Amino acid sequence: DAKAFERPKYGALSVMNDYRGVISARQYGDSYLVLKDVRLRCTFAGTDSGGISSSRLAVLDKYAHVLSEYNDNELHGVILVASNAKAGAAKGTVRPELLKGATEDPSMDWITMGYPQLAQASGKYYFEVHLIEGAEAPQVGLLSKDFKQQPGAPSTQGVGDCANGWAVDGQSAIGWHRGEALPWAQTWPSAEGTRKLSAAVTVGVAVDLDHRCVYFSTDGKWDEKWLESPAFGKDRIPAGMELYPAISLKGRASFDFGPYWKYKPPTRKGHKTTFNVWRNAPTGAHRVDVPQIGNSEMLSIYKEVQLHGELSLKRNVQRLVAARKYRDMNKMQRSFGLRVNKAGDCSGSYKRVGARCDMPMYRCGNGSVIYFDGPSSQWRMALKPVEGEDQFTDRAVYCSAPATAHVNEPPRGGWKLPDEERGLLPKAFFTKGLQAKGVSKEVVQSIVSKVVHQDADGKMSAFRRKGGVSFDEEWAKLEDPPCEAQAAWQAGVEQLQESLMQEFGVPGAHVVESAHPYEAKGFRWTKEVSIKGASALVVHFYEKSCTYDSSTRLCIFSGGLPRDAAGPGARVELHTCCSQRVWGTVLERSAGMWKVLLDRQTPGTTAAPAAEWPQLGDAVQAKYLHGMWFPAKISAIKVEGGIKTFTVDWDDGDYRDKEKRREEIQPRGGGPVPELAAERNVEDVEVYRQAVPKDATAQCFAHCKEGPPKRVLVKYGKQEGPKYDEQGFGVTCGDELLVFSLDRTCPLTPIVLSKISDKPGPAKVQGVDSGWYLDLVKTFSGPHREALGELLNGRLGGVTLDLCPVKPDQVMEAVMSNLESFVQLLNTKVRAMDDVTLCFIDSSAAVMPVLLPEAHVQYDAKVSSEIQLLGSDGKNDVVVKAFCSEGPAQAAGVRPGWAVDWPKTLQLNPMAELPSKEEFMDSPKSILEKSGLRLAFKNLYPVKTRQCMFYGTKTARSWRSLEIPGEFCEFEFSSDGDGASFPHQRWGFWALVSAKPAEKEEKKADSFSLEVEKKEGAMLGITTQEVSGACMITSIEPGSTPIQEWNAAHPDKALKVHDFILEVNGVKSSYESILDELRKFQKHVIVAKRSKEPMCSSGHILRPDPRVYNVCDVCRAPGTQFRCQDGCDYDMCVNCFQSFTSGPVHCPLEDLTTFAQKRVQVVSRGEGNQDDPEVERDSWDEQRLRALCAKHGWDFEWMTEDGERRRRANERFTEWKLEESMASFLHQDTTQMPDSQPLKSEEVEVVAPPVLQRVNS
């Protein structure tokens, strides 16, 4: 329930500064956003934060413990990115250019890079190329200005592979020119069987352009006769050529233009040749692979960021970096259609289907069209026409937008809706809705006069917006409106809905529906439906119900304890302030408070023994086949030979290894075995035993808040808080807290603040008032426990308390044993304290009362005055079948299907003459005529259970009608947000929920007969199986078969799966003889009998065993409720089970489709569309991406080498220049630091130039 602001937003930290984003997080999207102004609101984790402890989270300046979770490879990568931030930090702006190859990143592909802007025709120069270990197939040398550049195109030709290149390849001892492999005397170390360097190599290149000679060295070693034997001489270098440094490779390398080279240029004694720094070249080393742009593939898992607080698309997004596939998309991949959002029934994907008025026309799968209207120069969006009407008339137009000059497609925005589409209600229902909200007659008339006009059909209707008048604005002008404008308008819609229900004859039914279509974003919502007195709820779905996929699903739950239904007689569990639990019975429930009668121990008895754990229905974890522990529930307990065996139901639906011994079961989480008590009396809690009245027959109560209780810590002190003297009272807590009193009938919180000052003080300003309780546990464990302990020491029955430290439990025991003395001390000594902290609570329980699955109901009149029918549930309980009128049981929350807890009833009525358990089971009606009884009821389904799950297309079998036991159910609709491009596939669901009609007792014949004819070459259409010597039908074949024809013509005598065939044409002696008779081609008279209970194909009876992900073996629908318990893998859904036991599900409407269509249409028109429609291109091409960025004010960049990679490299280069300027500034001769403190001269020498760290926020 947290608000969006409070929810953390999750992202990935780009620790490798990879322009491709974080590769290991690609499952979340192929593009990414770079955020800004958020880093100080972020926490970080070294992995996905799901399930990790908070101690593994970090912030920017406390990150070391997360770094310790990085593996060696990840740490090495981070260090490389950080340490290489200084690479290329020399002055200058010349950078290597991509000359050939598909990428600018040599770590990704074999490419050619060089410096064509440094081409020289004369002079003598020297530079070095540092090849880093792992470089593949490097060719180092020079290119001429005539070299044909092909950046962005894949190529296997590099330096030396044409007439305009000269290079050496030390891996193969080759000099390359014109693609010829010339001999070269030097080699570079390479890994065995690969073209990768096994060690770093420095290649020296000396160029004498005046004499047209080029010389190469390896790690400073030159050929012995290098001057006489250049690698390339005049014979291979034509006169007048302008050459520049270049390299081809896959891997990492750098150019070093000096002047501080690793090795010296070549020299010969007595020779005057001198090689200089390359003219106009940047000094220092320059990496061609831009190492600070790292490789996120080194990460084993993405490093997560949790952003706290606001994430604004306008203020916190720097740029969108889009995957290159959206730029390189060819025509076969592109869609030239449109996507329309926020346009009601016109929303969806549109395809180009032709032209109109020389402009393209688009049509949606739902029949809506977008076209250009020439006479009005407008683009129009028109709804699917009613049969026989023209779609291109003004009446069919849903919205329109003016055309943009010289643009031949619909605009993105500017679409205007007619006033009728903003919300339209008939005047009568609009008026009733306002009156239902408590609006006075005069105000209603005033609003009606402003918003009610004649609609297109000539009827008077209320417009939410019309002619510049808005209902919302008029509502805001009211002095004290009873609700928000949306709620007021919705009240009129609800009146319209109720009228429609009356019109179709289903006034007590409910409609539960999603938005149509539902939003393409992640969500989860629930809605409860209750029809009081219903034995079961019937759910029917509109035929259009569908979801995009199985990740958007509707689940329906039943069972559990609806809190709203509980009242006097309901049983509750109270969690006390000392973390104990006490049971009781609700006496009153009003004004947000529950008055609970606490259970007391019967005089002369002791506490009930604890029940043995685990019990039926307990949630546990059990050991599986391979020794791992998995969650499960106890479904059965058997005792054979004194040994107890437990049957578990695995939470994941697995049907194997379900029988467990006690040592193979433990509480979930592996904690201690929970204490199970048969009862929880107030005397069972030792600390309260002394607080209850001495009279064991006296009643004890608890007054509990309906919602979460409020606990307030009130601190009194001289140095804090308001100036009490100025307000008319002193500085002690007693000047505000006037009287404390004792109430032993409320033993959980026996100390009551009876009177408090009317003037504001520390307690009053926090909401504390008369009637609040003193929370003894929190007070005695609070910040002033030592002072209170010292004050109470020796004054509570002479008890000596430990004071160093104070033990709260010891103080509580002393207080509860001497309550009168303690209250006297409160009203004297404690009220006189001027430095004390007290805790108050407005409820007798520390949390909301917890409903128990039982109720204790007192009947002064006859039981039959409320309960009409009791009957067996087919097992071991007597359940309520029907009520005849309102009464105490229903007030307590008892509903049809609840069972009478007869052992507890006997315990509650010790003086009454009542039948035994066996006699009651034989004749449950015997108690209906009794009066003066206190009956105990129990809920047989106390845990909310998922009955079914629906998803998929409208043709799926899952969207079938069903019955939900009881009068209460809960709908849960959730989605992962997929299907944004397919609104017609995410229409959502629409369900009608009504009460199942009262059962009518009908005597059904034990057997029935049918006549079918089996013609030559045909099949009857049934499959049978022998079960205990009888012939049982296991399946009925679909299609036009004699059995299917008979079933269609005689639904009351339709042959069903699991029916037994008793005889065929008089033959009934054995299964084989019946089968032989059925094989004959003739007319058959078949006598069949219904099975009493559904069975599997092997004849085993099916029992309740919900399996959400299993498939029904009858109809193949997902989600089953019944399963064979004898080892057969056979499941049945609730629909098929009900069809078998009670026939088809009852529908209260003859034509559900007509009702659903009209209701959806009426509600949609009444609620209206408050958004402005948006039109987008259906595919994410460049135009749409740039439009998105323009809308939010983002920068835009492609996730490519010449896009985001180059941008990051340039950003780093700008920072390098800033580093140098800052470094020179810090090295200036100054004697003053910024804080005006003198700086010693020797300290200047040790100040290192700072490395400016840019944090991508």
Task: Find out whether 26 and 13 touch, Cβ atoms under 8 Å.
Answer: no
SS3 1152: helix
Q: How far apart are the first and last CA of the chain?
A: 28
Whether 640 has a pLDDT exceeding 80, the answer reads: no
What's the pLDDT score for residue 1115? Answer: 74
Residues 6+ apart with CB under 8 A from 275: 124, 125, 126, 206, 207, 208, 265, 266
DSSP 1003: P
Tell me whether strands 1195-1198 and 317-322 are parallel, antiparallel or unpaired. parallel
Structure tokens that stand for 897 in this block? 């299907």
What's the pLDDT score for residue 296? Answer: 82
Place of tokens 């137009």: 397
What is the phi/psi pair of residue 261, to 5°? -75, 165
> Which strands sit side by side in the sheet containing 150-151, from one edge to the other?
150-151, 97-101, 111-114, 243-250, 136-144, 165-169, 174-177, 180-183
| d(C-alpha 119, C-alpha 124), whole Å | 13
| d(C-alpha 342, C-alpha 521), whole Å | 14
Amino acid at 227: L
Condensed to tens digits (0 to 9), the pLDDT of residues 928-977 reads 999 999 999 998 878 777 778 888 886 555 688 888 888 889 999 999 88
Segment 350-377 shows an average pLDDT of 92
Residues 6+ apart with CB under 8 A from 1226: 1247, 1249, 1250
What is the phi/psi pair of residue 968, to 5°? -135, 140
Condensed to tens digits (0 to 9), the pLDDT of residues 46-60 reads 999 887 888 999 999
Nearest Cα residue to 1215 out of 88, 356, 364: 88
Whether 162 has a pLDDT exceeding 90, the answer reads: yes
Nearest Cα residue to 217 out of 340, 126, 93: 126
E-strand ranges in 884-967 read 899-900, 931-938, 945-950, 962-965
Instruction: Check residues 873 and 1240 and name the one with the higher pLDDT.
Output: 873
Predicted confidence band at 1140 (pLDDT cuts at 50, 70, 90)? low
What's the pLDDT score for residue 494? Answer: 93
Whether 610 has a pLDDT exceeding 70, the answer reads: no
Predicted confidence band at 143 (pLDDT cuts at 50, 70, 90)? very high
Instruction: Check residues 153 and 430 and name the one with the higher pLDDT.
Output: 430
- CB-hemisphere CA count at 13 Å for 143? 26
Condensed to tens digits (0 to 9), the pLDDT of residues 682-720 reads 988 888 988 999 888 899 999 999 889 999 999 998 654
What's the pLDDT score for residue 267? Answer: 83
| d(C-alpha 1109, C-alpha 921), whole Å | 37
| d(C-alpha 502, C-alpha 981), whole Å | 38
Structure tokens that stand for 420 in this block? 């009728």
Task: Find out whether 129 and 72 touch, Cβ atoms under 8 Å.
Answer: no
| d(C-alpha 1133, C-alpha 1111), whole Å | 8
Whether 661 has a pLDDT exceeding 70, the answer reads: yes
CA angle at 778 for the pair 777 and 780, rounded to the nearest 5°: 70
* C-alpha dist (Å) from residue 1165 to 313, 424, 473, 578: 32, 6, 20, 56
Whether 336 has a pLDDT exceeding 90, the answer reads: no
Tell me whether strands 124-131 and 276-277 are parallel, antiparallel or unpaired. parallel
Element (H, E) at 878: strand 878-883
Nearest Cα residue to 1251 out of 33, 299, 89: 89
The mean pLDDT of the chain is 85
Task: Find out whether 27 and 1249 touch, Cβ atoms under 8 Å.
Answer: no
Amino acid at 78: V
CA angle at 627 for the pair 625 and 628, rounded to the nearest 5°: 105
Condensed to tens digits (0 to 9), the pLDDT of residues 526-564 reads 999 988 878 789 999 999 999 999 889 998 888 777 888
Amino acid at 380: R
SS3 608: coil
Structure tokens that stand for 444 in this block? 């209603």
Structure tokens that stand for 550 in this block? 């199985």
What is the phi/psi pair of residue 1090, to 5°? -70, 145
CA angle at 233 for the pair 229 and 238, rounded to the nearest 5°: 175
What's the pLDDT score for residue 630? Answer: 85
Element (H, E) at 1044: helix 1042-1049
| d(C-alpha 1071, C-alpha 1034), whole Å | 14
How far is C-alpha 815 from the chain's CA centre?
48
Ordered DSSP codes for 732-751: SGGGTEEEEEE-TTSTTS-E
Tell me whether strands 469-470 and 968-976 are parallel, antiparallel or unpaired. unpaired
| d(C-alpha 558, C-alpha 563), whole Å | 14
Condensed to tens digits (0 to 9), the pLDDT of residues 1083-1113 reads 999 999 887 677 787 778 787 777 767 888 8
| d(C-alpha 418, C-alpha 464), whole Å | 11
**Bond into 942 cis (ω within 30):** no
Predicted confidence band at 90 (pLDDT cuts at 50, 70, 90)? very low
| d(C-alpha 1228, C-alpha 975), whole Å | 63
Amino acid at 548: Y
- CB-hemisphere CA count at 13 Å for 485? 14
Nearest Cα residue to 968 out of 515, 570, 510, 505: 510
Residues 6+ apart with CB under 8 A from 426: 459, 460, 461, 462, 496
- CB-hemisphere CA count at 13 Å for 414? 10
Whether 1242 has a pLDDT exceeding 60, the answer reads: no
Segment 191-206 shows an average pLDDT of 92
> Which strands sit side by side in the sheet containing 878-883, from one edge to the other?
701-705, 593-598, 581-590, 570-575, 850-862, 931-938, 899-900, 878-883, 867-872
Residues 6+ apart with CB under 8 A from 497: 511, 1159, 1162, 1163
SS3 781: coil
How far is C-alpha 1253 from the chain's CA centre?
36
Whether 1218 has a pLDDT exceeding 60, the answer reads: no
Condensed to tens digits (0 to 9), the pLDDT of residues 57-82 reads 999 999 999 999 999 989 988 887 87
The string over 606-637, giving b where at least 16 C-beta atoms fall within 10 Å of a residue's C-beta and e elsewhere, is eeeeeeebbeeebebbbbbeeeebeebbbbee
Condensed to tens digits (0 to 9), the pLDDT of residues 1167-1211 reads 999 899 999 888 888 888 998 999 899 999 998 877 787 777 666
What's the pLDDT score for residue 1233? Answer: 36
Predicted confidence band at 1141 (pLDDT cuts at 50, 70, 90)? low
What's the pLDDT score for residue 86? Answer: 41
What's the pLDDT score for residue 1143? Answer: 58
What's the pLDDT score for residue 1212? Answer: 55
DSSP 441: H
